[in-house]
Structure 1
């Protein structure tokens, strides 16, 4: 083994040791983070590339210092931007994750930055890639299959258990139990059709962070017990704990949940599902995009134009026929959510 390869492997080992230790030390207290970024991914093959602007809950952060950077690759520019050092870049063979700690006055926050190799093919697997793979919806296996076939995102649904733990299910009941009225210890014993058990959101985070190709599209379900904002806060606390912001996109039918997410992290990529807000309204509330059923899209021929005018993203669900897929992609959709991701990926490749 060459000295260069030995050094590279030593650095990889240091990251594996250091990142879990950083996570264990992370303080999560149900509050907005003291600092946050507007981006957590690192461009590949671009020396001195910008990673992200740095913010406090009040706005752009000032006087930011790089308190910890074990890799030695990063710097804070004169304009207060987190970036790779000049003449420093990362290649395809570089490590996937890098931990840094930023400090501004008394505020400090640690982050995991991720080498940006995420797919940009616009295809989101609806509840994972389950339909053509013998899997179960909202299972770890269906997520793995979405990663395997190369989807840009894999959508999944989350509720709070009776004791306040986010668990995955599309419906409010699973295995004959009401999720919001059942302790998590009972819910996780329920076996899905493919042999998986009902997963925790925390399980999904851990699985998602093993790769950097497919985003996690978290749907936060409207609470039937008035705990929508609690669900939002609990999920964001877990995301902050694991420092997995780079992987996350957010959607909800509950506009209050969407606004809660944005209040915690104004740069979170949040899209609204219910179909009753205009792009102008979404922009005014700091919502990143809409994720509307195709029937809503078909009723409004100007919706793509209005979305572009207001700089909000367009996701359409649930798009399952090749004709629909081609039409919406040609119209300029940013994402398609589908039960047929294999078909959609074939269309994208043409």
Structure 2
């Protein structure tokens, strides 16, 4: 189909305006340094001059497109979530910022705290118990159900049902330990955002259906995290490298880590991957990979570390995180390091 030259001219004039009005502001960080008046929170990603247009706390300002605490302001005790609206021309955004009181003990509870606690793995109970223990993070696994709902399960099957071939309502009839049921990602985020001590480590499971469905899972998860304004709590991990790349396409400032183990720290850095999260067997073959990663700014996590001697070895080697089914033991170990 051919268009008159006048129509093409009008389209070319309107296109930049349309794209500009549809553009959304972004932040490169959502976590507020604690106890530091005047501290920078994050860079506002926009082509215009950004201004704070809404801030009920009165704590924030923007200087040279950097969102920061006002110099004479400190974060109030007890409060940990703050909403800020920012605009730059026609671009607008509202962001939930979280006060950085996250635990620095390196312990990630694998599927939550469940092995020595009453709740089921990947349940709201196991998340609550990981939070009570004071873990740095609680890891959990997410799939798309047959009706494209984001739902938690470690395995492709749960309660005799294939997650990707079963609707959410049916999955939530499965009886789990401690009266738990299969939660949705939305429910998990709602629970996790009630505190600011334990990070939420969201594992996106490679689809058994297709690679495209894996990318759809990534897009749906990023959309849900944005809708809940949960960016400050979330770390993403996956065995599927394409899932991680899709997340970064949608949110270039997301923190993503790779699980499979065959990529070097240099390869991860080149692809702007935040960290590796490799199996103990991979790291134990050459423990110097931890030092190599550190030199390249790649964060290190090792799974699933359940033995005391392995914990000691990795902590002594300077690992950033340990993912474990034994968070109680790991928390005792980190106290001695």
- TM-score, length-scaled by structure 1: 0.87
| Maintained 8 Å contact 2:261/2:278 | yes
The answer (yes or no) to whether the contact 1:128–1:146 under 8 Å persists in 2 is yes
Q: Does 1:161 find its partner at 2:151?
A: no
Query: Is 1:81 the counterpart of 2:71 in the alignment?
Result: no
2:256 counterpart of 1:266: no
Aligned to 1:204: 188
1:241 aligns with 2:227: yes
Q: Tell me the distance in 2 between the aligned counterparts of 1:105 and 1:260.
A: 29
1:43 matched to 2:33? The reply is: yes
- For residue 248 of structure 2, give the secondary structure of its aligned residue in structure 1: helix
Runs of 4+ deviating beyond 6 Å: none
> In the TM superposition, what whole-angstrom CA distance separates every residue of 1:69-117 from its partner, at most 9, and x where no partner exists?
111110001x2110011211114x2421110111122221111011111
Map 1:237-316 → 2, pairs under 5 A: 237-316=223-302
Q: How does 1:38-77 map to 2 (within 5 A)?
A: 38-56=28-46, 61-77=47-63
Bigger shift: residues 46-55 or 145-154? 46-55
Runs of 5+ consecutive residues of structure 2 not aligned to the other structure: 1-21
Alignment partners' CA distance in 1, 2:132 and 2:206 = 30
Encode CA deviations 1:213-270: one digit per residue, 9 max, x unaligned.
1000000000011211110110111111110101001100000001011111111110
In 2: Cα distance, 1:132 partner to 1:148 partner: 13
1:300, distance to aligned residue in structure 2 (A): 2.0
Aligned residues: 313
Whole-angstrom distance in 1 between the partners of 2:62 and 2:183: 39
Alignment partners' CA distance in 2, 1:82 and 1:302: 38
Does residue 230 of structure 1 match 2:216? yes
8 Å contact kept, 1:209–1:247:
yes
SS at match of 2:197: coil
> TM-score with structure 2 length normalisation?
0.90
Q: Indicate conservation of the 8 Å contact 2:141/2:152, yes or no.
A: yes
SS at match of 2:305: coil
Q: CA RMSD in A?
A: 1.3
Task: Give the match for residue 94 of structure 2.
Answer: 110
* Structure 1, gaps ≥5 residues long: 1-31
Pairing 1:34–2:19 present: no
- Note the C-alpha offset of 1:316: 0.2
